[in-house]
Amino acid sequence: RNPLILDTDGGVDDAQALLMLLAHGITPLAITTVFGNVSLEAATRNILDVLSLAKADVPVHMGQSRPLTGAVIDARNIHGEDGLGSAPRPVKAADPSERDGVEFLVTTLSAAARTGTKIDLLMIGPLTNLALALRMAPMISDGIGQLTIMGGTLFGRGNTTPAAEFNIYADPEAAAIVFAADIPTVVAAWEVCSAHAMESDAIDALIEALPGTPLAEFSAHLMLHARKVSFSYGGDGHFRFVDPLAAAAVIEPGLITAVQTHSVDVALAPGLTRGMTLVDPSGRLGTPPVTFIETADIDRLCALFAASAHWTP
């Protein structure tokens, strides 16, 4: 397996995705943070706190605090004011690295490209850091083995707007740059993620069976927060695999049961469709082919997720 860099905006399901990786023996080489669900500072603090709870020593490099153009948005309505649904924090966590996240990506991926090695990327927030890195050093694409993204829509039904999913809507220009680069890419799109869920009763049973460790209590809090938010938006309280679906695709690629290949571009014009991913199986958009996940084995997803909640570092 290639070394992995995780790029994240530090929300509730980002924390769950990170814990899934760690619990399954995948310790990222480094984590780069980005604005998104919350501010860059809050996202970074959240990730450092998760690493502390998980007793994992991973350098965290802060990336971009704003999109390439336009205003900063967030999703505190979903992830809570602090981005982690006010989950209990460790008393003390490490500080972020002083190294800039984009500079880290440029230097590390350039070195991989030069030496003919590959690093995988898992991106579960806005794509700003990688887009900037690609602008500064286009050859870094040769150093990326596989890029896995949670973002975009496959059927044009978004969560942040009727047409656009949050991670792409937060920085559409960045997403367009990333999709135009020739990088082997797998996408977990919004509608596909939200079609893969762990039922509310199963979440209850999982929480009931958890040990009383600070990490397990933290995980239970995240699950209960997600349910509360689901109910507050008229949802069914089931736990939908969003960032955790992308993480699962990295941990166990075999759990992906069907994919489609598309060329993909991003609508950039202001208006109703801004941030929408346009996909075309016949390649007419002229962008490199991207693999979109269609279905995943829900029993394996639930098993990986449950194991990470039970995990004792």
Query: Rule CB under 5 A: is residue 222 a binding residue for Ca ion?
Result: no
243 is a site residue for ligand BDR (CB under 6 A): yes
Taking CB under 6 A as the binding criterion, the range among 10-18, 86-94, 195-203, 301-309 that sits at the site for ligand BDR is: 10-18
Residues 31-90 that bind ligand BDR (CB under 6 A): 37, 75, 78
Exactly one of 80, 125, 151, 172 binds Ca ion (CB under 5 A); that residue is 125
Q: How many residues bind ligand BDR (CB under 6 A)?
A: 16
Q: Are 194 and 235 in contact (CB under 8 A)?
A: no
User: 300: buried, middle or exposed (CB in 10 Å: 19+, 13-18, 0-12)?
Assistant: middle
What is the C-alpha separation between 27 and 45, in angstroms, rounded?
18
**Binding segment toward Ca ion, per CB under 5 A, in 23-31, 50-58, 116-124, 249-257:** 116-124
Both structure tokens of 306: 């449950």
User: Is the Cα torsion angle 74, 130, 191, 195 positive or negative in sign?
Assistant: negative
The CA–CA distances, whole Å, from 29 to 95, 119, 168, 288, 298 equal 17, 9, 25, 27, 28
Give the one residue of 165, 187, 256, 279 binding ligand BDR; rule: CB under 6 A.
Answer: 165
Q: Which does 78 bind (CB under 5 to 8 A by kind): Ca ion, ligand BDR, none?
A: ligand BDR
7 is a site residue for ligand BDR (CB under 6 A): no
Contacts (Cβ under 8 Å, ≥6 apart) of 234: none
Task: From 82-90, 102-110, 159-167, 216-224, give the range in contact with ligand BDR by CB under 6 A.
Answer: 159-167
Q: What is the rounded distance in angstroms from the CA atom of residue 16 to the CA atom of residue 3?
A: 20
Q: Which residues bind ligand BDR (CB under 6 A)?
A: 11, 13-14, 37, 75, 78, 124-125, 150, 159, 165-167, 190, 242-243
